[in-house]
C-alpha cells in the first residue's frame, strides 16, 4: 500500500520516512518529498497548502500511483488536508500527527500569530539543511549510519 509521508517544519523527506519506517514493514511503500522551501527546494510564488497538495499529486502521477494514504505531520497537515479535499478519489486514508491546522477567524483575522523572529528563523537557519546533517541523532545522521538502507521509493 502506498503511503505519502508529508513532513513538518524543520525537516525534509527524510523526516517523514524516518517517522514511518518503523511501522512500514514490507507491506507499505513509503513515499516522501520535501515541501516547498525545505532542503533547497525553491519557494514558489504560490507556496500555499493547496499548491503543495497539487505538487504531491504530480509526484504520485509521476510514480504512476493512483491512490495513497496520506500522513501529514505538524506543518505538513495543511497540505495533507488539501490533498484529501482536492483528490478524495486518490486518498485511501488521511492521518494527521500533531497537526498545525489553521482555524478561520471572524473578519479574516489571522488564525495564528507568528512569534517575532519566526520568519527570520525559517528563512535562514531552517532552510540550511546542513545543520540537520550535523545534528547528532538526527534522521539524516541515522540514515547515513545504516549498513543497508531500507526499501524506499521517493
pLDDT tens-digit map of 131-153: 555 665 655 545 444 434 444 44
Of the pLDDT bands very low, low, confident and very high (cuts 50, 70, 90), residue 51 is very high
Region 62-90 average pLDDT: 95
Q: What is the pLDDT of residues 23-33, one digit of tens each?
A: 777 788 999 88
Given a contact cutoff of 8 angstroms between Cβ atoms, the answer to whether 74 and 42 are in contact is no
Amino acid at each position: 500500500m502506498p503511503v505519502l509521508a508529508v513532513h513538518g517544519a524543520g525537516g525534509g523527506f527524510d523526516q517523514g520516512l524516518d517517522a514511518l519506517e518503523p511501522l512500514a514493514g514490507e507491506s507499505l511503500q513509503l513515499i516522501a518529498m520535501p515541501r516547498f522551501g525545505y532542503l533547497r527546494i525553491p519557494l514558489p510564488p504560490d507556496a500555499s497548502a493547496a499548491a503543495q497538495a497539487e505538487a504531491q499529486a504530480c509526484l504520485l502521477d509521476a510514480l504512476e500511483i493512483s491512490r495513497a494514504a496520506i500522513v501529514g505531520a505538524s506543518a505538513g497537515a495543511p497540505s495533507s488536508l488539501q490533498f484529501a479535499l482536492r483528490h478524495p478519489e486518490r486518498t485511501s486514508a488521511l492521518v494527521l500527527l500533531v497537526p498545525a491546522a489553521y482555524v478561520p477567524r471572524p473578519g479574516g483575522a489571522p488564525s495564528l500569530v507568528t512569534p517575532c523572529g519566526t520568519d527570520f528563523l525559517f528563512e535562514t537557519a531552517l532552510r540550511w539543511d546542513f545543520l540537520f546533517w550535523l545534528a547528532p541523532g538526527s534522521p539524516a545522521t541515522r540514515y547515513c549510519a545504516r549498513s543497508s538502507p531500507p526499501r524506499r521509493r521517493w
